[in-house]
């Protein structure tokens, strides 16, 4: 997430707080898109965070010899596999501007062991991908109090030279979830954010293996949860980072949108 994206997300939080008050009289502002570089999703029919305490790699499968020989996707193939509006119901899908995408070296994280988490939350592919593509996804606005219950974020597809490299990148995220449970600091675009704690989510049934976690970040006086899921399909990692507008004003937890991961997994299959 770049500097303008962070400011934009905070402006949405403030706007939603005002909208919540107006909703009691029936006038609610429409939801705005968030300038992120990555979104998080959940696979299967349940929530990626419906339970805690499981191993970050609970759903991980052993990398087979066949998987290690998988041909990595090209930039063009990643674009073809990326989500579009027709793949989803009730969402707006767009491609972030190049200036909104943060390079890996543009994300500074406190503690080397926490770097994969900082990059995942910031919307930057972990490890050293050969190619990547990004989509911004925002749930459709509703009326009344429901206008605050909107999931928004970004989906990133990253292709690696081999399934083994993709597996190692995913493992670095799983290891960091455990090592950095007490929180960390990260900076992108000159803006520093604190993550107060990191909790393990239930890894979705998507691709070959997956990791899920929630990062809680103080944002304008509220402990806002950000949910992240990364799953591997051969030599490709699909990253999802999402927050709920209502949760950023209340600090309450929210259910991760499983349909995002399901749709992406179907396109990669």
C-alpha torsion sign, points 142, 147, 149, 150: positive
**Average of per-residue pLDDT across 143-170:** 89
Give the per-residue pLDDT at 164: 96
pLDDT tier, 70 (very low <50, low <70, confident <90, very high otherwise): confident
pLDDT at residue 140, rounded to an integer: 81
Closest CA to 212 of 165, 260, 247, 245: 260
Closest Cα partner for 235 from 168, 159, 177, 147? 159
Question: Which of the pair, 212 or 46, is modelled with greater confidence?
Answer: 212
Given this model, what pLDDT does residue 69 score? 62
- The residues that bridge with 215 in the sheet, in sequence order, are 198, 226
Q: Do residues 129 and 239 make contact, with C-beta atoms less than 8 angstroms apart?
A: no
Q: Is residue 76 within a helix (H) or strand (E), and if so which, with residue range? A: helix 75-81
CA angle 244, 224, 52 (to 5 degrees): 85
Can you count the helices (H) and strands (E) in the chain? 7, 10
Contact 207, 263 (CB under 8 A): no
Residue entry with tokens 């990669």? 268
Q: Which CATH superfamily is domain 3-268 in?
A: PknH-like extracellular domain (3.40.1000.70)
C-alpha 90/C-alpha 156 separation (Å) is 20
Q: How does pLDDT run across 106-147, given as a tens digit for each residue?
A: 788 888 998 988 888 877 889 999 999 999 999 987 766 667
pLDDT at 127: 92
Whether residue 35 is predicted with pLDDT greater than 80 in this model: the reply is no
Residues 6+ apart with CB under 8 A from 262: 41, 43, 44, 206
Range 184-204 average pLDDT: 84
How would residue 45 be classed by pLDDT, with cut points 50, 70 and 90?
A: very low
Average pLDDT over residues 202-213: 92
Of residues 66 and 253, the one with the higher pLDDT is 253
Q: Is it the case that residue 171 has pLDDT exceeding 50?
A: yes
Helix%, strand%, coil% for the chain, nearest 5: 35, 25, 40
What does the pLDDT read at residue 204? 84
pLDDT digits (tens, 9 = 90+) for 214-258: 999 887 888 889 999 999 999 999 999 998 888 888 888 888 898
First-to-final CA distance of the chain? 28
pLDDT band, residue 199 (cuts 50/70/90): very high
Q: What is the pLDDT of residue 9?
A: 52
Looking at the chain, the whole-number percentage of residues with pLDDT higher than 90 is: 42
Averaged confidence pLDDT in the chain: 77
> What is the reported pLDDT for 265?
97
Closest CA to 82 of 133, 153, 34, 125: 133
DSSP letter (8 states) at residue 158: E
pTM above 0.85, yes or no: no
**Both tokens assigned to 48:** 């990626």
Domain residue extents for the chain = 3-268
């Amino acid at each position: 997430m770049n500097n303008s994206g962070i400011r934009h997300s905070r402006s949405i939080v403030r706007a939603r707080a005002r909208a919540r008050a107006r909703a009691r009289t029936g006038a609610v502002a429409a939801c705005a898109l968030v300038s992120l570089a990555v979104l998080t999703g959940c696979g299967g029919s349940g929530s990626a965070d419906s339970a805690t305490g499981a191993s970050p790699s609970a759903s991980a499968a052993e990398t087979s010899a066949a998987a290690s020989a998988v041909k990595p996707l090209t930039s063009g193939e990643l674009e073809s596999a990326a989500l579009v509006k027709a793949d989803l119901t009730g969402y707006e899908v767009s491609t972030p501007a190049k200036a909104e995408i943060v390079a890996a070296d543009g994300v500074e994280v406190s503690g080397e062991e926490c770097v994969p988490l900082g990059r995942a939350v910031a919307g930057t592919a972990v490890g050293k991908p050969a190619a990547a593509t990004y989509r911004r996804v925002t749930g459709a606005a509703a009326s009344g109090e429901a206008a605050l219950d909107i999931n928004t974020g970004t989906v990133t597809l990253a292709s690696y030279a081999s399934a083994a490299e993709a597996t190692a990148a995913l493992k670095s995220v799983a290891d960091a979830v455990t090592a950095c449970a007490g929180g960390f600091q990260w900076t992108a675009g000159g803006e520093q954010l604190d993550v107060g704690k990191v909790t393990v989510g239930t890894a979705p049934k998507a691709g070959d293996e997956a990791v899920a976690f929630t990062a809680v970040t103080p944002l304008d006086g509220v402990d806002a949860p950000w949910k992240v899921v990364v799953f591997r399909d051969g030599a490709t990692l699909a990253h999802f980072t999402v927050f709920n507008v209502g949760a950023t004003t209340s600090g309450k937890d929210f259910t991760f949108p499983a349909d995002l991961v399901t749709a992406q997994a179907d396109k990669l299959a």
